[in-house]
Chain A
Amino acid sequence: MIPLSAYVAVSAILFITGLLGVLIRRNFIIVLMAVEIMLNAANINLVAFSHYLESMAGQLVALFVIAIAAGEAAVGLAIIIVVFRGKISTNVDEMSLLKW
């Protein structure tokens, strides 16, 4: 029987990995993938606690998150393609149009 703490530890490691990926990497696609990793870290947490607490609510929410993540990936990739067409770059640092 794998204890709950192990699930939480894996989840935390995955989340930190994703967070660092978002903060450090410059490539837009990598950043998007890092966000996916963070979402999945949360999913692990949700499912683990769902099993631990013997409630189906956590697994339901996990399913929702997967669906949203799929939508997010689709919209994010579409934005990337539009930006790439205009700027010939997927570097996040060059995207600063939203500033003052």
Chain B
Amino acid sequence: MTDLLIKLIPVFPLLAAIANGLAGSRWSHEIAHRLAWGSVGLSFLSTIGVFVDVLRTGAAHEVVAYQWIFGGDLTINLAYLVDPLTCVMLLVVTGVGFLIHVYSVGYMHGETGFTRFFTYMNLFMVSMLLLVMGNNYVVLFIGWEGVGLCSYLLIGYYYDKISAAKAASKAFVVNRIGDAGFLLAIFLVFINFHTLDYTKVFSQVGQLSPDMATVIALCLLVGAVGKSAQIPLYTWLPDAMEGPTPVSALIHAATMVTAGVYMIVRNHAIFDLSPTAMDIVGLIGGATALFAATIGLVQTDIKRVLAYSTVSQLGYMFLGCGIGAYTAAIFHLMTHAFFKALLFLSAGSVIHALGGEQDIRKMGGLSSKIPWTYRLFLIGTIAIAGIPPLAGFWSKDEIMAHAFTHHRYLLYGMAAAGAFLTAFYMFRLTYLTFYGHSRMDHHTEAHVHESPTVMIAPLTVLGALSLVGGFLGFPPEQGWLHHFLAPVVGAGGEHGVSTGLVLTLMMIATGIAFLGWGLAHYLYSISPATPARWAAMTEPVYRLLLNKYYVDELYDLLFVEPTKKLGLMLDWFDRTVIDGVVRAVGQLAELGAAGSTWVEKHVIYGGLNVIGYGNHLIARQWRQLQSGMVHHYAAIIVAGLFLLALVVQFIVQR
């Protein structure tokens, strides 16, 4: 039963995607969206069924759906592994995915390509489910590429907009770098273990030499860094906000970008063998958490602030992986999925209310006009800022506490600074959007309206999850989630940490969050003139942040432009040298052909004509012999007879 349910989970959205993709244009939007969210809802129900079973028995299920590639010592099945880790990911993906699908019905209402949107979304769900459910690297990779493709398609959803098309290509190309690393890692795993199944690989992972483990882990890390938008491959994620807001919420906040974290946790057996790789993971995570947060401070596009915040929060998850706090990383992944989806969707609701406006400088004073959106956005903000008892506090605090108790003070410092900045910029966003006086133009202001129930309802569920989701991991290190995940990632940290220290760290974290809130409150509510003055005071820094450290420009200069120049050069080479050679050969052949034509016409035809004409002349003489008169023939016969007689007489007889 459970096996069947597991097999069915990805089938529902696949069928919906096929149906909508092939015939969606023939039926109404009503049918299309019902198919889409209905199928994801069925997946969610199946997931709950599977989850209950796993919860009850505690056993991991390995289900072969289809024997795919086999031969020699290579066997690759389309097979699923459902263990507690997969269960958590499945619940997040299908649960949040379902809510976002429902929300999209309202948000995308009246858009052109409504059916196309839901087809891509369902396709994304299939890929994401394959990614988290696969029992081997190949299925993981298929899902990995599938989500990348759907991300590309959905970022470029408004494909007639140049910036969207460019952002889509950018996301796709940057992800290719990461995928190349991931692919190398898969090859290395196969070379070393002669199998690609997780269970077999991890059971004999001990044979791996430390150097090889480091290499594999780093290759995996390259893949994870690309997919999860970490330094140095994070630049695509902020640009990915060109897609519709539900896409940003589902793909670029809640699920796809966390695939890198999932992959590292799934492969933690390999990472555990290599302290070097772990240090690099932690450092990348910490650096990204801090770095992206500083950029988020000054951005003015509501979705871009959230995008940088996503990059930053993903940094926390990597940091957690890097210090071995895998449960905490997954915990943060889960709570982040709740509150970031909530934030993005309420931001979408704001954008919807304002008729497409995304610039927070042109908002303000919305709290009374769209009260539900405001309340839910505030819940999200408090959750991400890390104020207890909301979801974000527990998971983020656990990562930070883990870093502190394991004496990774540098990482702790980065995380703490990042947490302060997170609280600050998120409250800045809230204040600029919902408080103060309105900065909208009159036309927009007259049309501000609360979003329909179909959008608010999913938001409410996400809001509730953001409120209480953190208690899944309560008390810290000993929560339900930790026990549930223990079979996969091993028991949590050692228990030598005193409760006093844990409480102190919690209080510090809370204090940091409140400090960020307080600063935002001072700057954007009490003394609104101060931010501009500070910006003027620290002009160079402000400008640096506003331009995102010029990283895009740097990459343009270092990679994009040289590549383009190389392309132009190759183009020139192709046009002049290669085409030149081809053309020369062509001309030569043409010349040769002309020469042979002349020779044929004048020499060969001439020769043939001479022979023919000669024959003709000779024949004209000889045909006179044939007079047609019997006498002549008879005379010639007689003459021949006499000649013969003479010959006999004079030559033979002698």
Contact = CB atoms under 8 A, between A and B. Distances in A.
A23 interface: yes
B628 interface: yes
Given A19-B638, A23-B638, A99 B631 contact: no
Given A19-B638, A23-B635, A23-B638, A99 B627 contact: yes
Interface in B605-654: 623, 626-631, 634-635, 638
Interface stretch (A51-59, A65-73, A88-96): A88-96
A74 B232 CA distance: 117
Interface in B452-495: none
Nearest to A97: B628
A43 B630 CA distance: 24
B481 to A, nearest CB: 114
Interface string A8-35: 0000000000010011000000010000
A83 B626 CA distance: 20
Assign chain B's interface to a size class: 10 to 19
Contacts of A22: 631, 634
A96 B628 contact: yes
Contact of A100 (B623, B629, B631, B634): B623
A22 B634 CA distance: 8
Contacts of B631: 22-23, 92-93
Contact of A23 (B626, B628, B634): B634
Contacts of B635: 23
A98 interface: yes
Contacts of B626: 98-100
A93 B632 CA distance: 10
A96 B630 CA distance: 8
Contacts of B638: 19, 23
A80 to B, nearest CB: 12
Contacts of A31: 630
A95 B623 contact: no
B547 to A, nearest CB: 103
7 contacts: A19-B638, A22-B634, A92-B629, A92-B631, A93-B631, A97-B628, A98-B628
Interface of A: 19, 22-23, 31, 92-93, 95-100
What are the 10 closest A-B residue pairs judged by CB atoms, nearest first? A99-B628, A96-B628, A100-B623, A98-B628, A99-B626, A100-B626, A96-B629, A22-B634, A92-B630, A99-B627
